[in-house]
Amino acid sequence: MAKNTKVSITVIRRLPKYYRYLSNLLDKGINRISSAELSRLTGFTASQIRQDLNNFGGFGQQGYGYNVEELHKAVAKILGLDREYNVVVTGAGNLGNAIANYGGFKDSGFNIVGVFSRYRDKDNTHIQNMKVRPIEELESFIKENKVDIGIITTSKENAQAVANIYVKAGIKGIWNFAPVDLVLPEDIVLETVRLSESLSTISYFLNEENNK
Amino acid sequence: MAKNTKVSITVIRRLPKYYRYLSNLLDKGINRISSAELSRLTGFTASQIRQDLNNFGGFGQQGYGYNVEELHKAVAKILGLDREYNVVVTGAGNLGNAIANYGGFKDSGFNIVGVFSRYRDKDNTHIQNMKVRPIEELESFIKENKVDIGIITTSKENAQAVANIYVKAGIKGIWNFAPVDLVLPEDIVLETVRLSESLSTISYFLNEENNK
């Protein structure tokens, strides 16, 4: 992550977990929770939870615990989940298809407004109900549709070129699935999902005995 | 990660990055690299690189650097990428489809031998060229096909039940994409990919100014 921030990235990466558990509690109609209970659920210590949430103002009350709805709303606001985002996907292979069609993102306010591909032939002009557009239209589309986030599901060879178009067109957040380290200006937020690396962590542990 | 190991998880998580860069060097026909060059490529310090690789025996030679092919082979062995794995996918939605059809896993020795779904209707009996099997056959299939790794791409509601079948049938490694914290025996290797959490890290940083 290129940006500087006063809150450590470790704390920020814990927030979505709080958010997920708070959403589950709300679904169950639970409106009040102690930091001890929240600790049992999340696996974080009660003192860590208090510290984490104090970074953003502290939402608990001594002797009462947390109001789930308020805390959920506050964490949503911190995570920027209280607004909507326009998102494009470039790379219309299996992974791009999966991402473009995953309902969970839309429910969280991430609206896929366009899917783009370099390899758009007659068999590949639609992903389910969405038109796949040629890469040549990407830059103007981003500008016209005020796109906030660009997803990259291309091959590693094409990923940097797509990222460059995203940046040129004014996108500030990039979610990259290609197995490559993108070079980007400092003010661009980059998250890279490394699927192959996650999988090889499993194979490492399955073979750990052999390495001793 | 439940397993205890002498090498820290931080080091292990860096190994796939070395492996990726070494693969790229091999593809380019580069056979020798100094730790300084490897440092420039990976962004790790030269001293960190030496320390990391020393955990597994140390492969460099003073004044020569690393032999890329040997180091690549050694890291592959450490990561368990020198053998093949039988893998099943449960959950035949968009994400399961993408995972089952992603060629990169097969190239690394992860062979998808079966795809399973609870919701197998007449429109959903095949993923491209692979048959989607009913969940009732999962346990016996795992045993008969010596399956090593089970992938979970179901809803969060069904993920634990699928994990329980995996464990009962003898699977030792689970790659989970469902947004839930699975409860598993200590000897099972679990990697959870949290797509929504990765995405909300982007939205956090895009809205960081508002939180100050």
Q: How confident is the model at residue A4 (pLDDT cuts 50, 70, 90)?
A: very low
Helix, strand, or coil (residue A210): helix
Least Cα separation, residue A166 to chain B (angstroms): 15
Amino acid A91: pLDDT: 92
Q: What is the C-alpha separation between B125 and B135, in angstroms, rounded?
A: 12
pTM of the model: 0.85
Conformational region of residue A63, where left means phi above 0, alpha means psi within -120 to 50, and beta covers everything else: left
Of A109, A200, A207, the CB nearest to B16: A200
Q: Which residue of A has its CA nearest to B181?
A: A42
Asked if the Cβ–Cβ distance from A207 to B148 is below 8 Å, we say: no
Map A59-106 to HEC letters: CCECCCEEEHHHHHHHHHHHCCCCCCEEEEEECCCHHHHHHHHCHHHH
pLDDT at A89: 96
Higher pLDDT, A34 or A1: A34
Give the nearest partner residue to A196 out of B6, B16, B202, using CB atoms.
B16
Task: Give the confidence band of A94 by pLDDT, cuts at 50, 70, 90.
Answer: confident
Q: How many angstroms away from the CA of B206 is the closest CA of chain A?
A: 7
Question: Measured between beta carbons, which residues in chain A are less than 8 angstroms from residue B79?
Answer: 200, 203-204, 207
| pLDDT surpasses 80 at A183 | yes
pLDDT at position B127: 66
Q: How many whole angstroms separate alpha carbon A201 and alpha carbon A127?
A: 32
Res. A3: pLDDT tops 50: no
Mean pLDDT by 10 residues, chain B (212 residues): 59 89 92 89 89 75 82 91 96 86 84 88 62 94 97 94 98 95 95 91 84 55
Pick the residue from chain A with its C-alpha nearest to B192.
A198
Closest by Cβ to B202, choosing from A98, A191, A194: A191
Contact B206 A102 (CB under 8 A): no
User: What pLDDT score does B206 carry?
Assistant: 92
Burial class (CB in 10 A: 0-12, 13-18, 19+), A79: buried
Locate the chain A residue with the closest alpha carbon to B200: A79
- What is the mean predicted confidence (pLDDT) over A126-135? 79
Contact between chains at A80 and B206 (C-beta distance less than 8 A): yes
Tokens 């699928």 found at: B162
